[in-house]
Amino acid sequence: MKTILLKNRPKGRPSVSDFEFVENDSPLEIKDGELLLETAYVSVDPYLRGKMNDTKSYTPPFELDKPVHSMIVAKVIASKHKKYNNGDYLAGMLDWKTQQISDGEGLTKVDSEKAPLSSYLGILGLTGLTAYLGLTEIGKPKKGETLVVSGAAGAVGSVVGQIGKILGLRVIGIAGSDEKVELLKSKFGFDEGINYNTTEDMKAAIAKAAPNGVDIYFDNVGGPISDAVLFNINQFARFVVCGAISVYNNTELPKSVSVQPFLVRNSALMQGFIIFNYQAKYPEALKQLSAWLAEGKLTHSETVVEGFDNIPQAFIDLFDGKNKGKMVVKI
């Protein structure tokens, strides 16, 4: 049995040496009410970076020398639990371990017949929920409006853009390579794409791609990309502030334009979004996402890295944009 611990709190960009691998050969014995789980798929997510700092946030930080945890799909390989049987697959917040004991608390049974197991970490998991609920609850889209999405070829962004198209919006995606920009249009149906790494004047590029101005901005990255969007907003625009990956590794406070004049001038709304505040809406959102998937209106996209030992590197690779769609590790 292998476990990955957080060894150091990363300073700036994380590195593999911030994690420690521990091996233990003693067999795991379950008691009544418990399950023995074998990890099948591990979700690596940008928000885990924040939990590696010793700062207060919406969830507590990881503890040093303790296992890192994230959303995982695991197989039940022994059960003394009333609800779950051998061979069931369960999804939930679990430790980065090849095998572990659980009392089943917080886990949900997933069905590999209905959808691929990894999709419960992506489009049918927190990724899909974040995209759908962030866009509909804060973005409040109206047909014909213009939506700009940053981190557009990533897990959340690629789903936001597709939902935007389903809801009748003009959708512009911002991503980090020409290959990703092409993918936005060819695979996810975006109307326009902008490569922020090769575009000198993002403000002008957004103005060109959104000739009627920006009504909704789904922000996954923060920093200068989001500043450039501010210059192009319409009256009553809505900013869904979902994430800020461009500043997660910063060791100093970033320099940003002052948002207030833009918000006042345009009577615009800027609101932070945390998926865990919308749990009551998960069933309704999952029903809609599943229906769109079944109708072929949504495409599930992922980058699959193989091997337990590659979990930390897969996480770090998110900061280099190595993923298209949801980054998952198959064990």
Q: How far is the CB of 25 from ligand NDP (least distance, A)?
A: 34
Strand 89-95, strand 108-110: pairing: antiparallel
Comparison of 94 and 175: residue with beta carbon closer to ligand NDP: 175
Q: How far is the CB of 193 from ligand NDP (least distance, A)?
A: 10
Comparison of 37 and 314: residue with beta carbon closer to ligand NDP: 314
- Cβ-contact 37, 10 below 8 angstroms: no
Rounded CA gap, 234 and 257, in Å?
A: 17
Comparison of 117 and 275: residue with beta carbon closer to ligand NDP: 275
Q: How far is the CB of 17 from ligand NDP (least distance, A)?
A: 21
Q: How far is the CB of 30 from ligand NDP (least distance, A)?
A: 32
Comparison of 35 and 298: residue with beta carbon closer to ligand NDP: 298
Token duo for residue 311 = 């979990």
Write out the residues near ligand NDP by the rule CB under 6 A. 45-47, 126-127, 130, 151, 153-157, 175-177, 180, 220-221, 225, 242-246, 273-275, 318-319, 321, 323, 327
Longest CA span, the chain: 64
Comparison of 99 and 220: residue with beta carbon closer to ligand NDP: 220
Q: How far is the CB of 175 from ligand NDP (least distance, A)?
A: 4
Comparison of 36 and 244: residue with beta carbon closer to ligand NDP: 244
Under 8 Å CB-to-CB from 258, ≥6 apart: which residues? none
**Helices and strands (H, E) in the chain, number of each type:** 9, 15
**DSSP string over 92-156:** EEEESBSEEEE--TT-EEE-TTTS-GGGGTTTTSHHHHHHHHIIIIII---TT-EEEEESTTBHH
Residue 123: which of 91, 150, 99 has the closest Cα? 91
Q: How far is the CB of 174 from ligand NDP (least distance, A)?
A: 7
Q: How far is the CB of 95 from ligand NDP (least distance, A)?
A: 20
Comparison of 267 and 277: residue with beta carbon closer to ligand NDP: 277
Residue 153: which of 169, 186, 175, 134 has the closest Cα? 175
Residue 266: which of 227, 217, 215 has the closest Cα? 215
Q: How far is the CB of 154 from ligand NDP (least distance, A)?
A: 2
| Neighbour count for residue 29 (Cβ, 10 Å) | 9
Comparison of 104 and 157: residue with beta carbon closer to ligand NDP: 157
Torsion of CA 152, 153, 157, 162, to 10 degrees: 100
